[in-house]
Amino acid sequence: MALRVAVAGASGYAGGEVLRLLMGHSQVQIGAVTGNSSAGQPLGAVQPHLVPLAERMLEATTPEALAGHDVVFLALPHGQSAAVAERLGDGTLIVDCGADFRLKRAADWQRFYGSAHAGTWPYGLPELPGGRAALRGARRIAVPGCYPTAVSLALFPAYAAGLAEPEAVVVAASGTSGAGKAPKPHLLGSEVMGSMSPYGVGGGHRHTPEMAQNLSAAAGRPVTVSFTPTLAPMPRGILATCSAKATPGVTAQSLRSAYEKALRDEPFVRLLPDGQWPSTAAVHGSNSALLQVAYDEAADRIIVISAIDNLTKGTAGGAVQSMNVALGLPEELGLSTIGIAP
Amino acid sequence: MALRVAVAGASGYAGGEVLRLLMGHSQVQIGAVTGNSSAGQPLGAVQPHLVPLAERMLEATTPEALAGHDVVFLALPHGQSAAVAERLGDGTLIVDCGADFRLKRAADWQRFYGSAHAGTWPYGLPELPGGRAALRGARRIAVPGCYPTAVSLALFPAYAAGLAEPEAVVVAASGTSGAGKAPKPHLLGSEVMGSMSPYGVGGGHRHTPEMAQNLSAAAGRPVTVSFTPTLAPMPRGILATCSAKATPGVTAQSLRSAYEKALRDEPFVRLLPDGQWPSTAAVHGSNSALLQVAYDEAADRIIVISAIDNLTKGTAGGAVQSMNVALGLPEELGLSTIGIAP
Amino acid sequence: MALRVAVAGASGYAGGEVLRLLMGHSQVQIGAVTGNSSAGQPLGAVQPHLVPLAERMLEATTPEALAGHDVVFLALPHGQSAAVAERLGDGTLIVDCGADFRLKRAADWQRFYGSAHAGTWPYGLPELPGGRAALRGARRIAVPGCYPTAVSLALFPAYAAGLAEPEAVVVAASGTSGAGKAPKPHLLGSEVMGSMSPYGVGGGHRHTPEMAQNLSAAAGRPVTVSFTPTLAPMPRGILATCSAKATPGVTAQSLRSAYEKALRDEPFVRLLPDGQWPSTAAVHGSNSALLQVAYDEAADRIIVISAIDNLTKGTAGGAVQSMNVALGLPEELGLSTIGIAP
Amino acid sequence: MALRVAVAGASGYAGGEVLRLLMGHSQVQIGAVTGNSSAGQPLGAVQPHLVPLAERMLEATTPEALAGHDVVFLALPHGQSAAVAERLGDGTLIVDCGADFRLKRAADWQRFYGSAHAGTWPYGLPELPGGRAALRGARRIAVPGCYPTAVSLALFPAYAAGLAEPEAVVVAASGTSGAGKAPKPHLLGSEVMGSMSPYGVGGGHRHTPEMAQNLSAAAGRPVTVSFTPTLAPMPRGILATCSAKATPGVTAQSLRSAYEKALRDEPFVRLLPDGQWPSTAAVHGSNSALLQVAYDEAADRIIVISAIDNLTKGTAGGAVQSMNVALGLPEELGLSTIGIAP
């Protein structure tokens, strides 16, 4: 007996990836697919890679179109989810890929988004301490941001085990799909190919408070994050280089052991064998997060590198994984740990 | 009751892609995975994207290692398949991703490969006229080359319908994985990123006689192919631009109708709606071939563009599809028409 | 005594490249730099690579701003050059990088551009037979399109020497800068990286009649061109694969000799040594065109490959070269044959 | 009266870039160009972008070949420069692009390179405090590593002004040309395109002690550097994200002022206007370093981003600049601040 699932915002990158995964999910039947300016077009015109759905027509994103589904995925510009959610009722599981319901503190929302805080929903990162418990049975899910997924998976074991001082420094490179499909000059292929550039430097990126929220919860005390995102010349993938001063007594061995222990039973997070480093190529299109750790003795810092696909584990895959947990389905349904390489 | 399947040459790009697809094939259990210089290493060290098999050890490619399997995929340098096949016996279905058994005329083989012709096996392109019949029940399969797959799918309908004069002109761009994983200076990232370059110009590429063989068979008369391959700055994908002088009376409409008719029931070949053009991005990691046709009135030529993933439909996907046909399994098992984009 | 030179459309890719070259031209002093929506901004905000001009302010493109210069380069959307030219008078040399004055036949213009034909100016491809003579002393120059530059240089020697039948088949790959800087969804980095795709297939591309015009002139009889442009995942460069049926008696040697003879004294066109093939990487940022020829005996076709930088030799470099010829300056002033590689 | 200049290692990426710049240097005449395995080939076969030198033959790298030049550039694998230098004598200015003579402390060399320390030569980063004085009249120059160039330029003003605590955290992305031209599997285009990956994590990269040496000198006290390099899918460029805890009292304004003051007269280092961020595209092929600074109040850290071309300012450009200083020539001869973009 299949779940009937709608996807709002199906013409964008996040929505397209949700559809791609749902098409391989054995318990799902795809219902409405909606867009905004793309409404009225066949899906094949805007998502030509989704061949089996090429002739499905995009409807406008309205409460009517989204009604009558068991699950609704929202892949909308931030600020639009609350209104949609209100109209759908508690009978529908809503999985919001947007930012609206991720943050706990209204002040953080207001500072980084400049509008009224809509509220807080159960947070869709099952791997965090208490993460699965918070999702089981949930009717609303806030899917984490792509950077916070990469960074929280990388650093929560260190903070949970007390191995890192509460000042994290993160530099992450993201593929351009993280910036969305709306055409802007700096996102043109001519501009990004062959070029690396930073943005939101100095604490201005909206994902910063979300990372701090997750790491502070893991540490049991406030953690600050100095976060610098960079745009890399690739369509997908995040490589996050995360470090922090080690707490007294940390060794390479104790660091590795803590990660082995924390991640042992995780189906989607893999600590690589010693000496092997993550690459975004290895997680292309997969729901895997690949991790490696190091202890830099001279600088007395722990360094954790994580690689994810920003659209899969970082958005749509995390969303489907959380849906599975919320509905009591096997967590891995519709998801793969196998990347497409080279 | 699963088939036990071995993969020889599992550390290369073709072998890795065969494994990736077989891991998602419901009737397959993966047996031996073998390599040459990589023997003794865990698969995760050379194919880090194949996470579920990361700890499987690569064995040496020997008759002993490959014995006792229902199916053996060979992804070896050309010239090595015959010796392996001899040792395996007719009880094993051998699917050869190499070139050794593709050509029918020994003279073609000798001219382009310079060694003795090993023979001819049933040809693994089910879409060709008579293609499926030739594969059903086969115990040996010669998987087509990646370029011949793209070009034969693009042009066989025109030749079968008598719409094209027997002199085809093909210019194709391929991703670098088509050139393999053995490190050579001109394949370095530094050399290929930001650059397009041709090779094997003037009829020298080894895939030329294979294309001519397929198109001649479809046309029922000899067809020559002027083929220019180019190396494109992308890891995967082939975009083939194929044209030929139109035969008298051809119109845009008659051309399109012939293609619609020829491809109507093909599960993996899609003629795009009028006005939409194929891209390699849309078939990344999928077994789809996307086609579009045009009639250039001023030049009186038909033009057909095809896009495939050289490693999937062009190699490993075609191989699995042909295995399915040979064994009487549903042709689409383990294969997807959905690409990974963007 | 320096020439005072203005650049209209200085915020786009063509205008930026014109400026880059003029900054290294010993006889030029840069005057007004103008834009449209970018007017009022410092040049450094839109062309951050032009460091020495970073603080120059972009003015609006008006006759007043462009008045009082010895030379004015126009890098404007097509259809706008005639109006500007009218206001400038014959005292100013106008070098138009746009399409408006390239075509000789009004019917061609109307068919491909859909508006009234503005006229025909001396054509800025000095290498063509009679090319330099037509430019010397000119006060108006129509800079060729990027594709016609690559294709005309590749094929004019064959047609001039009577070695090719009058039906050329051209498939060319272009970097994305050829499509300009106006943001459109299909030009996003996310879309183009890792992807090849065709456009304007079947004779629809506006550069087709320009190629036919040049090759017909070289051949002394009408030549048709079947032209398929493709978008390649790189910011710059054109690789053109050009072929035609050989005329009777052509050999590999006679073909090569004809090209050696035709190109012997050209400062910017180089026929590569036998066995070496052009790549766009080798001409990145340079005014060189690299060529290689082959005779495909089995298909009885001549094949010529050319590589240029679409923004340099294909636009701005060709423009500066033609300016030099028009003004009687040394043809190579401000231009380099050295590419930036890797 | 031109200087006669030889380049040893002219077939590699560093050597090729040295040649490219020297060809545009008005006081230089290019003498011997030497290689190892490439000896006996024309330069055009291995450096096809250096068109004017295409027919020059590569000689073997011997003392005889390098004798009789005013300046010799060495672009050799590390460990080979000392032997060559010994044979050349003090009459020749030797500019070593290798690592052999960069480090001051023998213990650092031994730990990171595992061989005996060859010595220390004047260091070729004129922008450092006292940098030009150390180079004037020098007969031996150790060209800095590419990463140390990017990082030292980014952080020396902060350390010199006492604005940063002595524990720097650096994450840098480099184009693949930094890894050289020797073919290795992980440097294949198929592997690097679409992928970001780290290497030498945890303090293991050989450039770490060189950065610490420069920053400690600027600070007047020991500075540690936690350095993580990453390989980015582009041929050229380094983007370095550098940060450190701010010293008490630092503000965004005091930070910016210190940089403005320190860099005011530098011909090749540009602090971008507030709000604009560096990209590697903007310095492609140029000798510019583009910088921007930020103060992250929440994390109390200063962040400095620098972008250079690893082969130009990071290697060959820095080498030519230092040669100019050593010989008393205008520092900017043969060098440009203009990048090639897009």
Q: How many CA atoms lie within 13 A of B323 on its CB side?
A: 30
Phi-psi category of residue B200: left, alpha or beta, with phi > 0 → left and psi -120 to 50 → alpha: left
Q: Which residue of C has its CA nearest to A342?
A: C194
Query: What is the distance between the alpha carbons of residues C303 and C297, in angstroms, rounded to a whole number?
Result: 11
Q: Tell me how far apart the alpha carbons of residues A212 and A120 are, in angstroms, rounded to a whole number.
A: 16
Residue type, A58: L
Q: Are A287 and A127 in contact (CB under 8 A)?
A: no
The tokens for D309 are: 């071309």
Q: What confidence score (pLDDT) does residue D72 get?
A: 98
User: How confident is the model over D105-153, as pLDDT tens digits?
Assistant: 999 999 999 999 999 999 999 999 999 999 999 999 999 999 999 999 9
Among A194, C174, A175, smallest CA distance to B194 is for A194
A241 closest CA partner among D42, D198, D233: D198
Give every CB contact of residue B330 below 8 A, 6+ residues apart in sequence. B324
DSSP letters, C22-33, are: HTT-TTEEEEEE
Residues of A in contact with C177 (CB under 8 A): 190
pLDDT at C1 over 70: no
DSSP alpha helix (H) spans, C264-313:
none
Q: State the Cα–Cα distance between residues A211 and A206, nearest whole angstrom.
A: 10
Residues of A with catalytic roles:
146
| pTM value > 0.95 | yes
Report pLDDT digits (tens) over A102-138. 999 999 999 999 999 999 999 999 999 999 999 999 9
What does chain C come to in residues? 342
DSSP percent split of chain D into helix, strand, coil, nearest 5 = 30, 25, 45
CB C321, CB C335: distance < 8 Å: yes
Give yes or no for residue A170 having a pLDDT over 90.
Answer: yes
A12: its two tokens: 């964008």
List the strands of the sheet with B140-142, edge to edge. Answer: B59-60, B28-35, B3-8, B71-74, B93-96, B140-142
The pLDDT, as a whole number, for residue B1 is 61
Omega of the bond leading into B342 within 30 degrees of 0 (cis): yes
Which runs of E-coded beta strand occur in chain A? 3-8, 28-35, 59-60, 71-74, 93-96, 140-142, 164-174, 197-198, 224-231, 238-246, 269-271, 289-296, 301-308
Residues of C designated as active site: 146
Per DSSP (E only), the strands in A46-86 are 59-60, 71-74
Question: Which residues 6+ apart lie within 8 Å of D156 measured at CB?
Answer: D127, D128, D129, D214, D215, D218, D262
Where does chain B have alpha helices with state H?
13-22, 43-46, 63-66, 81-88, 106-113, 131-135, 146-160, 189-192, 208-219, 252-263, 317-327
**Chain D, nearest residue to A277 by Cα:** D198
- The tens digit of pLDDT for each residue in A241-273 reads 999 999 999 999 999 999 999 999 999 999 999
Interchain proximity B193–D190, CB inside 8 Å: no
Cβ neighbour number for residue D284 with a 10 Å cutoff: 30
Q: Where are the alpha helices (DSSP H) in chain D?
A: 13-22, 43-46, 63-66, 81-88, 106-113, 131-135, 146-160, 189-192, 208-219, 252-263, 317-327
* Whether the Cβ atoms of residue A210 and residue A144 lie closer than 8 Å to each other: yes
Find the mean pLDDT for residues C166-174.
Answer: 98
Q: Which pLDDT score is estimated for C204?
A: 86
CA atoms within 13 A on the CB side of A228: 32
Other beta carbons within 10 Å of B252: 15
* Angle between helix B252-263 and B146-160 (nearest 10): 120
C44: chain D residues, CB-CB within 8 Å: 272-273, 276
Contacts of A74 (CB under 8 A, 6+ apart): A8, A9, A80, A81, A84, A85, A94, A95, A96, A97, A98
Tell whether the model's pLDDT for residue C305 goes beyond 80: yes
Q: What are phi and psi of C281, to 5 degrees?
A: -60, -35
Q: How many cross-chain Cβ pairs, B to C, lie less than 8 Å apart?
A: 162
| CA quadruple A63, A65, A71, A76: dihedral, nearest 10 | -70
Beta bridge partners of C301: C245, C296
Determine contact, residues D59/D39, Cβ cutoff 8 Å: yes
Token pair belonging to A133: 């418990």
Q: How confident is the model at residue B78 (pLDDT cuts 50, 70, 90)?
A: confident
Q: Taking a C-beta distance cutoff of 8 angstroms, is the pair C324, C28 a contact?
A: no
The interface predicted TM-score (ipTM) is: 0.97
End-to-end CA distance of chain D: 37
Q: Which of residues 33-52 of D touch B (CB under 8 A)?
A: none
Q: Show residues of chain C in contact with A185, CB under 8 Å.
A: 181, 183
C197-243 pLDDT, tens per residue?
999 999 889 999 999 999 999 999 999 999 999 999 999 999 999 99
The neighbour count for residue A113, using CB atoms within 10 Å, is: 17
Torsion of CA A34, A38, A39, A42, to 10 degrees: -90
- Report yes or no: D56 at the C interface, CB cutoff 8 Å: no
Cα–Cα distance for residue pair A191/B37, rounded to 1 Å: 41
Q: Which residue of B has its CA nearest to A189?
A: B194
B189 contacts D233? CB cut-off 8 A: yes
Q: Other C-beta atoms within 10 Å of A79: how many?
A: 15
At A139, the pLDDT band (50, 70, 90 cuts) reads very high
pLDDT mean across residues, chain B: 97
B-chain residues near C190 (CB < 8 A): 342
Would the pLDDT of C107 be above 70?
yes
- What pLDDT does A233 receive? 98
Residue-wise DSSP of B234-256: SSS-EEEEEEEEEPTT--HHHHH
What pLDDT sits at residue D203? Answer: 84
User: CA nearest A184 in C: which residue?
Assistant: C183
Q: Work out the percent of chain A whose per-residue pLDDT is above 70.
A: 100
- Output the CA–CA distances (angstroms, integers) from residue D257 to A231, C48, C179, D218, in the order listed: 28, 22, 41, 17
- Strands laid side by side in the D71-74 sheet: D59-60, D28-35, D3-8, D71-74, D93-96, D140-142
Q: Would you call D339 and C13 a contact, using CB atoms and an 8 Å cutoff?
A: no
Question: B49 and A20: CB-CB below 8 Å?
Answer: no
Strands C28-35 and C3-8, bridge-based pairing: parallel
Which residues on D lie below 8 Å from A232 (Cβ)? 173, 196, 232-233
Count other C-beta atoms under 10 Å from residue D339's C-beta.
29
Rounded Cα distance, B165 and A233, in Å: 43
In this structure, chain A runs to a length of 342
Q: Mean pLDDT throughout A217-224?
A: 98
Is-contact B18 B43, C-beta < 8 A?
no
> Is there a contact between B299 and C243 if contact means CB atoms under 8 Å apart?
no
Q: Tell me what the mean pLDDT of segment C30-45 comes to.
A: 97
Sheet hosting strand C3-8, strand order edge to edge: C59-60, C28-35, C3-8, C71-74, C93-96, C140-142
Burial of D147 (0-12, 13-18, 19+ CB in 10 A): buried
Q: Is the dihedral of CA D219, D220, D221, D222 positive or negative?
A: positive
CA A247 to each of CA A225, A335, D23: distance values in angstroms, whole numbers, following the listed order = 16, 37, 54
pLDDT digits (tens, 9 = 90+) for B243-299: 999 999 999 999 999 999 999 999 999 999 999 999 999 999 999 999 999 999 999
pLDDT at D149: 98
Would you say residue D78 has pLDDT above 90? no
Q: How many CA atoms lie within 13 A of B100 on its CB side?
A: 22
Query: What's the CA gap between A309 and A85, in Å, rounded?
Result: 27
Average pLDDT over all residues of chain C:
97
Q: How far apart are CA A262 and CA A304, in angstroms?
A: 14
- Would the CB atoms of C234 and B299 count as touching at under 8 Å? no
Tell the burial category of C279 from Cβ atoms under 10 Å away from its Cβ (0-12, 13-18, 19+): buried
Confidence of residue B204 (pLDDT cuts 50, 70, 90): confident
Helix (H) or strand (E) holding C137: none
Laid out side by side, the sheet with A71-74 consists of A59-60, A28-35, A3-8, A71-74, A93-96, A140-142
A116 touches chain D (CB under 8 A): no
The closest CB to that of A303, out of D167, D202, D225, belongs to D202
Positions of D annotated as catalytic residues are 146
> What tokens does C162 get?
């009577």
- pLDDT level of residue D249 (50, 70, 90 thresholds): very high
